[in-house]
């Protein structure tokens, strides 16, 4: 194995290698927004997945940052590390490939990230980056590194397993499968002083995941060294109005559990739309506080009920009850979403650890942890 060039240095190090493709024993998942934007607010209502040895995340990333020829590195992270599901790690990565600057901090979440749904938020402006949980600010970085986030970024979510036990804990395959549940995602445009109540953000679109919108999202289909799983589109599902990322054994890419109930009081809109929408009031009944002392992992269980096959269109595209109280506008939106689902295209190919496509089919990316 010949290492060509070192690319990342922080919680992970990425290096381009030339090596044959080899299947791994486990399957994970990555969901990524097809279009990148410059500045904005990003919210996701989620119950995370965490057992020792895993990473469950929501992050902003500029494609190509890891390339040695890239002008800059641009990334903002929310990562739940498996050894401590009671907190998440926030981070900004800037600089250039091979000379990154990072700023990791840890924040307690109560109830734990695996025990309840929380609304996780990222605000990115020219002057600051802000992290929130259930509407409560847990970190804000003004100036300095925040101003180095130039260009565009896309929103991503992934679920995988690091081979660095010092970072995420020791991995036990008997803890699998685990699942990350995303109830909804909201993306806001950066509109200084023109948002609701004079805020700096205007809601652009909401996705409630009644179906999978292939015109908005891509499904990862790659892997990288230092990650013991292959990221695959087979471990991303839509079920009961929830987007599900799974981490499973290879060949067992089925969702064998029951979708958990989100007790958020404010009901979300019935369909996803790219039109501007009014922001509903969030239910902040489960606030987060800033701390990182707890280190007790809380494995996530899965009930063996209805199976979901991602290759079955009827399961990915649920039937609407004709007796349900659905307004004409909702039916039109549902038809539109189903048409978008039918037009979904695959995203196969070789890409790097963060999803940027690799031109050479033999190029792979190596990830070393604990640097």
141-to-37, 119, 172, 320 alpha-carbon distances in Å = 20, 20, 36, 45
- Answer for the pair 321, 213: CB distance below 8 angstroms, yes or no: no
Q: What is the rounded CA–CA span in Å between residue 153 and residue 59?
A: 9
What 3-state DSSP class applies to 144? Answer: helix
| Residues 210/270, Cβ–Cβ less than 8 Å | yes
Cα 216 to chain centroid, rounded: 14
C-alpha dist (Å) from residue 187 to 47, 88, 128? 19, 21, 17
Q: Cβ(67)–Cβ(93) under 8 Å?
A: no
Distances (CA, A) of 368 to 40, 190, 215, 238: 31, 35, 33, 32
The residue count of the chain comes to 371
| Beta partners for residue 309, in sequence order | none
DSSP conformation letters of 14-77? EEEEE------SEEEEEEEESS-BSSEEEEEEEE----TTEEEEEEEE-TTTTSTT-S---EEE
Catalytic residues: 75, 79
């Amino acid at each position: 194995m010949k290492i060509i060039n070192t690319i990342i240095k922080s919680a992970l190090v990425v290096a381009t290698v030339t090596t044959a493709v080899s299947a791994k024993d486990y399957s994970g998942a990555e969901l990524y927004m097809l279009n990148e934007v410059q500045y904005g607010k990003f919210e996701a209502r989620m119950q995370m997945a965490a057992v020792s040895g895993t990473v469950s995340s929501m992050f902003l990333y500029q494609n190509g940052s890891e390339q040695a020829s890239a002008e800059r590195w641009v990334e903002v992270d929310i990562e739940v590390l498996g050894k401590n599901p009671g907190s998440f790690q926030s981070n900004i990565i800037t600089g250039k490939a091979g000379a990154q600057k990072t700023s990791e901090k840890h924040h307690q979440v109560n109830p734990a990230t695996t025990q309840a749904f929380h609304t996780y938020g990222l605000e990115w402006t020219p002057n600051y980056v802000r992290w929130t949980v259930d509407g409560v600010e847990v970190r804000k970085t003004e100036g300095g590194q925040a101003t180095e986030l130039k260009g565009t970024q896309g929103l991503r979510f992934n679920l995988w397993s690091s081979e660095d036990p010092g970072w995420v804990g020791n991995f036990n395959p008997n803890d699998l499968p685990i699942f990350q549940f995303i109830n909804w995602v909201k993306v806001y445009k950066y509109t200084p002083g023109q948002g609701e109540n004079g805020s700096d953000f205007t809601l652009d679109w909401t996705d409630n995941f009644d179906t999978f919108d292939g015109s908005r999202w891509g499904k990862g289909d790659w892997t990288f060294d230092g990650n013991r799983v292959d990221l695959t589109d087979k471990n991303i599902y839509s079920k009961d109005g929830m987007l599900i990322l799974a981490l499973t054994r290879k060949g067992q890419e089925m969702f064998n559990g029951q979708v958990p109930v989100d007790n958020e009081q404010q009901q979300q809109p019935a369909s996803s739309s790219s039109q501007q929408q009014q922001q509903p009031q969030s239910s902040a009944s489960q606030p987060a506080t800033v701390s990182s002392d707890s280190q007790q992992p809380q494995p996530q269980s899965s009930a063996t009920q209805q199976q979901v096959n991602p290759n079955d269109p009827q399961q990915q595209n649920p039937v609407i009850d004709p007796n349900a109280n659905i307004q004409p506008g909702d039916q039109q939106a549902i038809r539109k979403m189903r048409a978008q689902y039918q037009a979904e295209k695959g995203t196969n190919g070789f890409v790097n650890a963060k999803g940027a496509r690799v031109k050479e089919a033999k190029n792979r990316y190596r990830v070393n942890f604990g640097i």
